[in-house]
Amino acid sequence: MVIGIPKEIKNNESRVGMTPAGVFALTKHKHTVYVQTTAGDGSGFFDKDYQAVGAIILPSIEDVYAKSDMIVKVKEPIEVEYSLIQENQIVFTYFHFASSEPLTNAMIASKAICIAYETVEDEEGTLPLLTPMSEVAGRMSIQQGAKYLEKPIKGRGILLGGVPGVQPGKVLVLGAGVVGVQAAKMAAGLGAHVTILDINMKRLRYVNDVLPNHVVTGFSSEYSIREYIKTHDLIIGGVLVKGGKAPKLITKDMLKDMRPGTVIVDVAVDQGGCFETTKATTHEYPTYIIDDVVHYCVANMPGAVPYTSTMALTNVTLNYILKLANLGWEKACEVDKSLSKGLNIVKGEIVYKELEGVFDE
């Protein structure tokens, strides 16, 4: 099979779809790999590194799409890429279709095979290709939130860990999934007081068992969220509906109950966001303020740490990429049921149940 690795062109996206180690594994299996020139520079992998393991460097994104049977990316194609995608071409990347009707319609029109990292699901019900980026984003949410709590950036002027004689900051985490647990772990490590809410008691028991005593759990409801937001300095939104839109857990009217300078970080922005006032931002312009509440809603948070993120992503995607390349997408999805759940749009038809009717409202 011919595999193409284009350069990511989304704003401030420095990750790349495959490391040289991944390319080496593919060329060893006699597959051809095309890499767009400088595609890996942002992650610390250079053209010479790819050439050393058998990749062919191409000068343009158009060349990569035109010559490849399968495109391996990180982020969803943006508008200028829509026309480059060919009928029956496999596109393996994060799509997050539920947050973009234009993207969904474009991929239907392309008649390509769209396999989404974020909906590949194993027998335990976990999402192995989403997990590493959720881990990165969960940890980064605290790192970024702590920065934007500083007064020069219109935050409350709170040091999350406090100092002797001064209470630490308070962090509220919505969702006890991968993002939430990683966020709570980082916040606890800084010495903050952490509350994590969820509706899944099994997850809350897990959090109670594995995290320090100054991380407290609570059952999530609209009432409890409305109470907690009044006293917490940093609020992390980390809820996930597999393949669907995230629920709006914080509505616009709730902002007035938060103290001026409160920071809210929406890690669910790729799936439409779990705050009503969420709108996707970039690393170039990461925040905006509504009702004196600082919103951080960067849609590709892991893109700020591309070396770590690219390595973590390739660790989990490579086996699936090899399977697709060695067997073809139909046979690969037949023998690997977890990969088959990654199929979202096939030859113009939506095949992922949770995506059906998501734009009918």
Catalytically annotated residue among 96, 193, 232, 295? 96
Helices assigned H by DSSP within the chain: 20-28, 47-52, 61-67, 79-82, 101-110, 131-148, 178-190, 201-210, 222-228, 306-327, 329-335, 337-340
Under 8 Å between Cβ of 314 and 23: no
What phi, psi does 163 have (nearest 5°)?
A: -145, 165
Under 8 Å between Cβ of 168 and 191: yes
Could you give the 3-state DSSP secondary structure of residue 272?
coil
Catalytically annotated residue among 193, 270, 295, 336? 270
Identify the sign of the CA torsion 249, 252, 253, 255.
positive
In DSSP terms, 2 is beta-bridged to: 32
User: Is-catalytic flag, 232?
Assistant: no
Residues recorded for the chain: 361
Contacts (Cβ under 8 Å, ≥6 apart) of 131: 178, 316
Helix H or strand E segment including 296: strand 293-296
In DSSP terms, 33 is beta-bridged to: 3
Long-range contacts of 42-50 (CB under 8 A, 24+ apart): 42/8, 42/13, 42/14, 42/15, 42/16, 42/306, 43/14, 43/15, 43/16, 43/19, 43/306, 43/307, 43/309, 43/310, 44/306, 44/307, 45/16, 45/19, 45/20, 45/310, 49/20, 50/20, 50/23
Under 8 Å between Cβ of 180 and 138: yes
User: Is-catalytic flag, 283?
Assistant: no
Burial class (CB in 10 A: 0-12, 13-18, 19+), 111: middle
Catalytic residues: 96, 270
